[in-house]
């Protein structure tokens, strides 16, 4: 029989500010895009993105009309604090209007305070980075202080530390590994853990009712027989330390897309002949259930929320098939006692995917010229699950 989601289960879609707003000219990502376009992984700049800075009402109208009850979006630090210690009242009021607009439409807002992009003047490697981030979180209470139940402090801190390690590697003339992730910057990792702790304290001080957590990119490391210790050693600095840092939090975000197989010498490439997505990742919907189980085992007692899960594909039927498999794995984990409180699809819109518009993760197509929004069949299908609360079973 289909699994029935509990009352109050969060059912939404996610976006991030830099990937959808457009014109985020004061961010480090904007600067990187201008310097690197056409080189490496940055194939094109973000430009106007989806123009969601101006069209956020339309985005919310669509999600609410489709049947979603929740919307996860981020606020842009580079807009709020364009210079150190100088806060834009206009930007804070803009994001406050977004919170109020979500509530008016029956959408519960989950506010992410940091989703990859920084003000151009900020570096996680700075000695006072955690304190500076805490100052921003304190100022942002204007946005999340009322009507917001869930705040995500930092999105995928493990990927931020990995990106810092990647930049170090390039500066030293190194090459990316053929499979898996480069060595993360361990000093940046320590700062991110400290910054998260400081941010949770600030959120609780400013808005005690808010449930605070962060979201971690789960890689689903699968050891081949005999490679269990290798997988554990590989996973710890790239994922597990961030999960363990959430042990005392109100919730923990699980973000899952695919798996990583580990052999005696480390990560292995995608198996020959395995179906791949537009990003080159293996089509592996079972990853979500496995990520939830791994996370629950590592931090027992912390409620979990799927803050991102989806697939980059031009074939919407493939998207439905992937989500069906992922939700089935989530439902089975819940039936086995894993405490999952919500599911957010990535993403609400076809948006800027950190270097290119080519990968299309969205439930809603966005015309690159006119910005016209067109929901895909998968959007109606997934929204209807929110209405019925019945998770479909995978057909054998």
- Kindly list the structural domains of the chain, giving each domain's residue range(s) and its CATH number in brackets, ordered by start: 3-391 (3.20.20.80)
pLDDT (0 to 100) of residue 177: 87
Nearest to 160 by CA among 240, 122, 216, 203: 216
Token look-up 């985005």 returns 59
Instruction: Identify the pLDDT of residue 83.
Output: 98
**152-165 pLDDT per residue, tens:** 999 999 999 999 99
Average pLDDT over residues 165-187: 87
Q: How many residues does the chain have?
A: 396
The mean pLDDT value for 78-87 works out to: 98
**Residue-wise pLDDT tens digits, 193-204:** 999 999 999 999
Residue 280 has pLDDT above 80, yes or no: yes
Mean per-residue pLDDT over the chain, rounded: 96
> Which of 45, 56, 58 is closest to 21 using CA atoms?
56
Of 351, 344, 350, nearest in space to 363 by CA: 350
Q: What is the mean pLDDT of residues 361-390?
A: 97
Q: What is the pLDDT of residue 55?
A: 98
Question: Mean pLDDT throughout 6-24?
Answer: 98
Interatomic CA distance for residues 97 and 154, integer angstroms: 22
The 8-class DSSP code of residue 238 comes to I
The 10 Å CB-count burial string (b at 16+, else e) for 296-333 is bebbeebbbbbbbbbbbbeebeebbbbbbbbbbbbbbb
Q: What is the mean pLDDT of residues 3-29?
A: 97
Give the pLDDT of residue 169: 82
Q: What's the rounded mean pLDDT across residues 128-151?
A: 98
**What is the per-residue pLDDT for 396?**
58
Give me the mean pLDDT over the 365-369 stretch.
Answer: 97
Lowest mean pLDDT among 50-64, 171-185, 282-296, 312-326: 171-185
Confidence of residue 173 (pLDDT cuts 50, 70, 90): confident
DSSP structure string for 62-90: HHHHHT--EEEEE--HHHH-SBTTB--HH
Provide mean pLDDT across the span 104-118: 98
User: Does the pLDDT at position 223 exceed 70?
Assistant: yes
pLDDT band at 393 (very low <50, low <70, confident <90, very high): confident
What is the pLDDT at residue 354? Answer: 96
Percent of residues, the chain, with pLDDT higher than 90: 92
């Amino acid at each position: 029989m289909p699994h029935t989601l509990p009352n109050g289960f969060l059912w939404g879609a996610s976006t991030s500010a830099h990937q959808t707003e457009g014109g985020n000219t004061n961010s480090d990502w904007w600067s990187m895009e201008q310097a690197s376009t056409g080189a490496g992984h940055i194939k094109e700049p973000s430009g106007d993105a989806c123009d969601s800075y101006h069209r956020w009402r339309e985005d919310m109208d669509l999600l609410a009309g489709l049947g979603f009850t929740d919307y996860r979006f981020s606020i842009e630090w580079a807009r709020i604090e364009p210079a150190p210690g100088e806060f834009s009242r206009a930007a804070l009021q803009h994001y406050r209007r977004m919170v109020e607009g979500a509530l008016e439409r029956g959408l519960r807002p989950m506010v992410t305070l940091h989703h990859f992009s920084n003000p151009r003047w900020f570096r996680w490697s700075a000695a006072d980075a955690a304190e500076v981030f805490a100052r921003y979180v304190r100022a942002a209470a204007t946005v999340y202080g009322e009507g917001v139940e869930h705040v995500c402090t930092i999105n995928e801190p493990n990927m931020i530390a990995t990106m810092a390690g990647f930049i170090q590697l390039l500066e030293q003339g190194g090459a990316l590994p053929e499979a898996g992730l480069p060595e993360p910057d361990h000093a940046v990792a320590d700062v991110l853990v400290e910054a998260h702790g400081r941010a949770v304290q600030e959120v609780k001080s400013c808005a005690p009712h808010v449930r605070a957590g962060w979201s971690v990119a789960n890689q689903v490391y699968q050891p081949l027989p005999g490679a269990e210790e290798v997988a554990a050693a590989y996973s710890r600095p790239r994922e597990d330390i961030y999960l363990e840092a959430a042990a005392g939090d109100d919730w923990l975000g699980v973000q899952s897309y695919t798996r990583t197989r580990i052999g005696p010498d480390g990560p292995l490439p995608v198996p020959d002949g395995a179906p791949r997505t537009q990003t080159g990742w293996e089509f592996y919907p079972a990853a979500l259930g496995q990520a939830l189980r791994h996370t629950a085992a590592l931090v027992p007692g912390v409620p979990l929320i799927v803050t991102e899960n989806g697939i980059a594909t031009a074939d919407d039927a493939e998207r439905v098939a992937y989500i069906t498999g992922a939700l089935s794995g989530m439902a089975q984990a819940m039936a086995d006692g894993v405490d999952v409180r919500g599911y957010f699809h990535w993403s609400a819109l076809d948006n800027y995917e950190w270097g290119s518009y080519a990968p299309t993760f969205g439930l809603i197509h966005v015309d690159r010229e006119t910005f016209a929004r067109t929901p895909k069949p998968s959007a109606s299908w997934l929204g209807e699950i929110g209405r019925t609360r019945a998770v479909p079973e995978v057909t054998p």
